[in-house]
Structure 1
Amino acid sequence: MKRILLLITACIFSQLSFSQSAPELCQGAYFTEPQGKEFLAKHVPTSKKEWEARAEQIRNRILEGGELKKLPARPASKPIVHSRREMNGYTVENVAFETVEGYYLTGNIYRPLNQKGPFAAILCTHGHIENSDARYLEYVQLRCASLARMGAVVFAYDMLGYSDAQQSQHKILKAFKLQVLNSIRALDFLLAQPDIDKNRVGVTGESGGGTQTFMLTALDPRIKVSVPVVMVSAHFFGGCVCESGMPVHKKGDFQTNNVEIAALAAPRPMLIVSDGADWTKNNPNVEYPHLQKIYALYGKENLVENVHLPTEKHDYGPSKRIAAYTFLAKHLKLDLSKATKADGSIDESFAKVLDRKELAVFNAEHPRPVNAAVGDDAVSALLNW
């Protein structure tokens, strides 16, 4: 966890000079903890009508600040899907497809094996870690395999500059814009798979992947259930350019924060998972009560939950995964028993952790398409739609 927080801190400092010249960016610990709490106290809506007007303002700020009011046409190229492997209760395939012409989103799709659909669908994002092979790490594979075995078609995909996504570095200027587009196109891809129940669609991820989780949920009503892990904070706005490098939180006199953005999920089911060692340490007393007030406007306060782990750190470890599995199983009608023991504890022993070479999309046999833009400038040029 210490290495992850150091990496995020380095990311914040690398953006400092840019944010000083762009005062409407809200990066890192933009508020102090008391300021974050005070902000929420001043923005408790008194009615559903008042909240929905505020929600529309917040959504528009994200779309305008992220230059997402108008999306580019979907590329006509077909997805690249190869290397299907049958595992214990699930299958895995390697996937790439264009999200904007010239940029290929890369990932792995996990499907239930020997089960009858229609199936739930779940997007799995990952956070900022020191190891650029994030998608290949054990905890990501275990999460995806477990959810697939429980009865969901799961797509795990890369952030810029991680794993197969090496067309540019991670911290290009408009990383936020491209990563939101990638999430929307990932959802397009997932929902286009055969035998999907479009009323059972979820997304979950940790840290920067938690940001992707609540941003996508805020913008796309096709997401029905969300589980942002170790990220929802009243005072911390995301430490990387891909989370807060565009003016999505502030413009002139208008200000919002990530708790209000997460609240745009209401009244859809949402679980926030928090710990005692990062910016989510106040969730039980600050962020979660505010979310309950928003959900109460719909008479749905039972659909927002918080699992707080005060002795744990910033990760998506076993206890956080079992919290997510339990919530997703409940609201997406999955078979929780396939990832738990009789006593309710986590059981991922069935899953085989594959080598990065097995999960990589691009290799000698499957090279990156020749039309792929390569380099920070070339990828950034794709974003001028």
Structure 2
Amino acid sequence: MKLFICIVLTIFCNKPIWGQETLLCKGNYWTEDEAALMMKTFASEWDDLPSWEARANRIRRGIIEGLQLENMPNISGNFNTIIKGTKAMDGYIVENIAIESFPGFYITGNLYRPANNSETHAAILSPHGHLKNKRFTEYVQNRCAVLARMGAVVFAYDMVGYGECTQVKHDIPIAMLLQTWNSKRVLDYLVSRPDVDPERIGITGGSGGGTQTFILTAIDDRIKASVPVVQVSAHFFGGCVCESGMPIHKSHDHQTNNVEIAALCAPRPMLLVSDGDDWTRNTPQVEYPYIQKVYAMYGEASKVANVHLPLEKHDYGFSKRTAMYNFFSHYLKLDNSEVLSNEGYQEDFVTILHEEDLKVFDKNSSKPKNLLHGNKAVMKYLDVDLK
């Protein structure tokens, strides 16, 4: 079956699937029809739990090796945390936060936490995508504040090159490595907090934040529930260097795509949110059934779900957020009674703060003295070989 499908793709699509001159799979790497055929090829590689787990281990190793994660500095703790501008809001607290990712490089963001701090809480990582205003936008503030009022500690953090994370440009060749490492460090920080229950950790992001969501979930089982939004696609591999700029999908002995990477979440709970106006338009017919079969192998078919919104576009809008609220409420044991009414989820209690009020390093504050400056300085410090 594998050989037959590869021959068909080579002849009719003029695309030598297993022997391309580059190991990078960028953007619309396959057509939708090619991707559907490739999903059949992937499915032919396994037919029971042991054979799936063998494939899953190869895919996971491909991510780690492709990102060169094992070459990153050996750091435990040492967050050198900076917290400023604590603001008490309606049922939640917002803090401006920076933690050190590795010596000289800082992750900037905001920490949203419940006003009631008398117990341990679930924690949720909130990476953002390439949509306008990034972590400062209303849809990020809304989802973080609502989750905090539901009882979660939420860390919304900048993509590299955006917001306050301007030590490098977003087009740095190792953007995928930096963002994945940053996510891992945010996770390290959250589980180190005495107010966080390490058995109730979630992650969610839309678009490029969705990519960060399923990559971290695939390689770190401390994530207990995952909601990648408008990003998991069989044919689209991400259009930015931060999503497809390093060889995580392909090596000299394997090929995969973001569907299988997302499936590495199994058997932990996962919600796929898709829409009808982007590369997730086929999720109910192509991507979701494949992932369902993986979960069924574990006897956990009920733990994966898809909310498909055919009339909606590529965003993390209100209906997508409400699906996520429901999912995390159930699997992370959050209390949604404070944000529910007869009309559904309420977000009108959220105060949308100005960008300047959310910054860690404003015009009156000094940055750490050990900052690395520029792509070359960071690449030299990490000594990453992309050849």
Unaligned runs of 5+ in 2: 1-19
Whether 1:111 aligns to 2:113 is yes
- Residues 226-267 of structure 1 show CA distances to partners (whole Å, capped at 9, x for unaligned) of 000000000000111111101110112410000000000000
Whether 1:35 aligns to 2:34 is yes
Matches within 5 A, 1:180-329: 180-329=180-329
The question of whether the paired residues in 2 share the 8 Å contact of 1:125 and 1:156 is answered with yes
Structure (1 or 2) with the larger CA radius of gyration: 2
Q: 1:120 Cα deviation (Å)?
A: 0.3
Corresponding letter in the other structure for 1:233: S
Match for residue 97 of structure 1? 99
Matches of 1:22 and 1:147, distance apart in 2: 45
Corresponding letter in the other structure for 1:139: Y
- Residues 293-348 of structure 1 show CA distances to partners (whole Å, capped at 9, x for unaligned) of 000000001000000000000000000000000001010011123233224x2310
The question of whether the paired residues in 2 share the 8 Å contact of 1:101 and 1:382 is answered with no
Whether 1:374 aligns to 2:373 is yes
Matches of 2:117 and 2:188, distance apart in 1: 23
Match for residue 349 of structure 1? 348
Corresponding letter in the other structure for 2:74: A
The question of whether the paired residues in 2 share the 8 Å contact of 1:144 and 1:156 is answered with yes
- After TM superposition, the structure 1 stretch with the greater mean CA deviation from structure 2, 202-211 or 362-371, is 362-371
Corresponding letter in the other structure for 1:27: K
The question of whether the paired residues in 1 share the 8 Å contact of 2:112 and 2:145 is answered with yes
Matches of 1:365 and 1:30, distance apart in 2: 46
Match for residue 7 of structure 2? none
SS, match of residue 69 in structure 1: helix
Q: 1:114 Cα deviation (Å)?
A: 2.2
- 4+ aligned runs moved over 6 Å, structure 1: none
Q: 1:82 Cα deviation (Å)?
A: 1.2
Unaligned runs of 5+ in 1: 1-20
- After TM superposition, the structure 1 stretch with the greater mean CA deviation from structure 2, 110-119 or 199-208, is 110-119
CA RMSD of aligned residues (A): 1.4
Match for residue 67 of structure 1? 68
The question of whether the paired residues in 2 share the 8 Å contact of 1:84 and 1:94 is answered with yes
Corresponding letter in the other structure for 2:73: P
Q: 1:37 Cα deviation (Å)?
A: 1.1
- Residues 155-207 of structure 1 show CA distances to partners (whole Å, capped at 9, x for unaligned) of 00000111111111111011111111000001011111222111110000000
Q: 1:70 Cα deviation (Å)?
A: 4.0
Matches of 1:22 and 1:83, distance apart in 2: 51
Corresponding letter in the other structure for 2:51: E
Q: 1:377 Cα deviation (Å)?
A: 1.4
- Residues 2-56 of structure 1 show CA distances to partners (whole Å, capped at 9, x for unaligned) of xxxxxxxxxxxxxxxxxxx971100001011011111111222210000000000
The question of whether the paired residues in 1 share the 8 Å contact of 2:72 and 2:382 is answered with no
Matches of 1:381 and 1:156, distance apart in 2: 28
Matches of 1:325 and 1:381, distance apart in 2: 42
Relative to the length of structure 1, the TM-score reads 0.91
Relative to the length of structure 2, the TM-score reads 0.91
SS, match of residue 250 in structure 1: coil
